[in-house]
Amino acid sequence: MHEFSITSQLVESVIDEARRKNAKRVLEVHLIIGNLTLLGVSQIRFAYKLLTQDNIMKDSRLYIRHRKGKVRCDKCGYKGDIMFRNDPLYHITFPTLTCPKCDSNVKIIQGKECVIKSIRMYV
């Protein structure tokens, strides 16, 4: 249910920015959501619709672009996609945080973000 609180913060940020710009209405909001956030897009859309019913964001469009996860290995210098492992024990595919080249631990450098990329307003 963290999607609702995240969306609430996003909507609040957009409204604050719209007020700073003296906007009469928010028309569009563009988000970038990393696939490692584990945020449910349908839950975000649902929360967005609820949270924008009675304010200057009413009937605004929400656009969501996904960003793939990327990692970096400090040992061998690998920088790229995350390796995924299909484990029948868990019945899901999950990301591993080991280097696909040397099997060392890696650092996540992309894919954990949830960012407001742009807002289109009527001023």
- As a whole number, mean pLDDT of residues 96-109 equals 90
R_g (Cα) of the chain, nearest Å: 18
- Domain assignments of the chain as residue spans, ordered by start: 2-68+111-122, 70-108
Q: For the domain with range 2-68+111-122, which CATH number is right: 3.40.1530.20, 1.10.1740.10, 3.30.2320.50, 2.40.10.10?
A: 3.30.2320.50
When the pLDDT of each residue in the chain is averaged and rounded to a whole number, the result is 92
- As a whole number, mean pLDDT of residues 20-28 equals 97
Chain-centroid distance, C-alpha 97: 20
- As a whole number, mean pLDDT of residues 22-33 equals 98
Residues constituting the chain:
123
Q: What is the pLDDT of residues 44-82, one digit of tens each?
A: 999 999 999 999 999 999 999 999 999 999 999 999 998
pLDDT band at 38 (very low <50, low <70, confident <90, very high): confident
Q: So what's the pLDDT on residue 83? A: 80
- Which helix (DSSP H) or strand (DSSP E) does residue 62 occupy? strand 61-67
**Continuous H helices in 1-123:** 2-20, 41-51
Query: What are the b/e assignments for 38-75, b being 16+ CB within 10 Å?
Result: ebeeeebeebbeebbeeebbeebebebeebebbbebee
